[in-house]
Amino acid sequence: MDCWFDNEHRNLRRQIRAWVKNNLGPGDHGQGNLEINACRLANQLGQDGFMAYAVPSRFGGVRETVQARDLCLIREELAWGSALADVMFGVQALGSYPIALAGSEEQQRRYLPPLAKGERIAAFALTEPNAGSDVSAISTQAERATSGYRLNGVKHFISNAGIAHTYVVFASTQPQAKAKGLSAFIVESNSAGFTVKEKTPRGIEDRPTHPGHATLHGGRRCRRFCAESFGRSRGLQPKSAPVRACACGVPKDTV
């Protein structure tokens, strides 16, 4: 399907393939200290310019708008080399995207450049014990407070929890409005009341894939920034298509 890709895409594939070859040895799937490896990979992917594909150029990224094809190419190659490296890239892109899509100018300037450089790590906190596929069941609530919002609720299965600095957390400002009452909030890991209660490392076969899923507990303040990060998935989306690309990359060395 070459019609999908131009020369910039082909160059990107060559670069990321070379990066995987040079930086991830055979069998290097992040064994050892998972969290240290996870942070190291995020930093390195940032320093070497790949995290920048997840952020618009105005805020330290590569292209004017984030392009799903770039994310797919990077995830497919990374997933082949190391499931952990792929997850670090994928979750960084997932956590950055709502800010790039709907953050205020001030929020984008503040949060996106360090994410593009891999200096800070992102997480995306949507799922709750009683709200998975059905996001309208989210019970985390956000109430106006003196300088922003106070969030109350519990999230779980949150990749990068405990190592991330910047969390995008979905909560309801109008519970009676169900999914239409949801907004996304930026929560920094040092926010008052924010806790990571439990970490549950997981793996696919012998590959640790996530530095940890965690339960987040919090009563915390932050600023509202978007109400439209999901629910508009049409075509090749930066949010969902790269997950499928990752699924193509993982089995490459087994087929």
Pairing state of beta strands 195-199 and 214-226? antiparallel
Which part of the chain contacts ligand FAD (CB under 6 A), choosing from 8-16, 121-129, 226-234, 241-249? 121-129
Which part of the chain contacts ligand FAD (CB under 6 A), choosing from 12-20, 33-41, 125-133, 174-182? 125-133
Q: How far apart are CA 82 and CA 26, in angstroms?
A: 9
φ, ψ for residue 125, nearest 5 deg: -115, 95
- Residue among 62 and 75 whose Cβ is closer to ligand FAD: 75
Q: Does 84 help bind ligand FAD (rule: CB under 6 A)?
A: no
- Residue among 41 and 62 whose Cβ is closer to ligand FAD: 41
Binding letters toward ligand FAD, positions 85-104, x by CB under 6 A: ------x-------------
Pairing state of beta strands 122-125 and 166-172? parallel
Tell which one of 23, 127, 139, 237 touches ligand FAD (CB under 6 A).
127
- Residue among 127 and 152 whose Cβ is closer to ligand FAD: 127
Q: Does 55 help bind ligand FAD (rule: CB under 6 A)?
A: no
Q: How far apart are CA 117 and CA 106, in angstroms?
A: 18
Q: How far apart are CA 251 and CA 69, in angstroms?
A: 20
Which part of the chain contacts ligand FAD (CB under 6 A), choosing from 13-21, 126-134, 179-187, 224-232? 126-134
Binding letters toward ligand FAD, positions 204-243, x by CB under 6 A: ------x---------------------------------
For the chain, how many helices (H) and strands (E)? 6, 9
Q: How far apart are CA 110 and CA 153, in angstroms?
A: 26
Smallest Cα–Cα separation from 235: which of 1, 69, 54, 57?
Answer: 69
How far apart are the two ends of the chain, measured CA to CA in Å? 20
Which residues inside 151-210 make contact with ligand FAD, applying CB under 6 A? Answer: 157-159, 210
Interface residues toward ligand FAD, by CB under 6 A: 91, 124-127, 132-133, 157-159, 210
